[in-house]
């Protein structure tokens, strides 16, 4: 019967515990050692070696990255100083050229003024000379007219 087969049974049954138990335990312990040398150790070595390799590479890459960032910052400051220097030079040159231009302009103005003044004085002297001559001629003419009039009478 089923119930008999399930439980009771001096011979057989589901809960028939015998030497299978210790032998199975020994077998599992042996399997542990076999699997350890065949599976866990070799695979662990490979995996851990690779993990170390990867983490070393990551650390190295991080170091390189920080170095690159440092260099980048360095270059940036250099670039900035170069830029300000260039600006300074440009503005200096502008100032210089401005000064030169102003000086040249002033010189030219002065020269122009001087020659203008000279021309004016010359014109003035010529004018007065011409006027003197004119008034002298007018005097002569008037004397001549007066003489003629007196002589006719």
Partner 1 sequence: MFINSLLTNFAALEVGQHLYWQIGNIRLHGQVFLTSWILLGALLVFISLGTKKMENDPKGLQNLLEFLWDYIRDLARTQIGEKVYRDWMPFIGTLFLFVFVSNWGGALIPWRLIKLPSGELGAPTADINTTIALALLVSLSYFYAGLSNKGWRYFEYYVHPTPIMLPFKILEDFTKPLSLSFRLFGNILADELVVGVLVFLVPLILPIPVMFLGLFTSAIQALIFATLAAYYIGEAVEEHH
Residues that bind partner 1 (CB under 8 A): 1-2, 5-6, 9, 12-25, 27-29, 31-32, 34-36, 38-40, 42-44, 46-47, 49-50, 53
Rounded Cα distance between 21 and 28, Å, is 11
Give the whole-angstrom CA distance, residue 44 versus residue 50: 10
CB of 57 to partner 1, least distance (A): 13
CB nearer partner 1, residue 13 or residue 85: 13
Q: Pick the closer one to partner 1 by CB: 33 or 150.
A: 33
Q: How far is the CB of 73 from partner 1 (least distance, A)?
A: 37
The contacts of residue 13 (CB under 8 Å, 6+ apart) are 5, 6, 7
What does the alpha-carbon distance between residue 52 and residue 62 come to, in Å, rounded to a whole number? 15
Q: How far is CA 143 from the centre of its chain?
A: 94
Count other C-beta atoms under 10 Å from residue 129's C-beta. Answer: 10
Query: Nearer to partner 1 by C-beta: 5 or 80?
Result: 5
Spatial distance between the Cα atoms of 119 and 10, rounded to a whole number of angstroms = 153
Least distance to partner 1, CB of residue 45, Å: 8
Minimum distance, C-beta of residue 51 to partner 1, in the bound complex (Å) = 10
Q: Given the complex with partner 1, which of 24 and 105 has the nearer CB atom?
A: 24
């Amino acid at each position: 019967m089923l119930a008999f087969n399930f439980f009771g049974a001096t011979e057989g049954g589901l809960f028939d515990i015998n030497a299978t138990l210790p032998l199975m335990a020994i077998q599992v312990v042996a399997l542990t050692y076999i699997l350890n040398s065949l599976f866990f150790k070799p695979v662990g070595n490979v995996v851990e070696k690779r993990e170390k390799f990867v983490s070393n590479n990551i650390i190295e890459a991080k170091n390189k990255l920080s170095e690159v960032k440092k260099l980048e910052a360095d270059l940036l400051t250099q670039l900035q100083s170069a830029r300000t220097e260039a600006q300074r030079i440009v503005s200096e040159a502008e100032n210089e050229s401005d000064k030169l231009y102003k000086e040249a302009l002033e010189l030219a103005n002065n020269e122009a003024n001087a020659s203008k003044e000279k021309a004016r004085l010359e014109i003035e002297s010529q004018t007065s000379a011409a006027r003197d001559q004119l008034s002298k001629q007018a005097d002569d003419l008037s004397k001549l007219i007066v003489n003629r009039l007196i002589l006719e009478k």
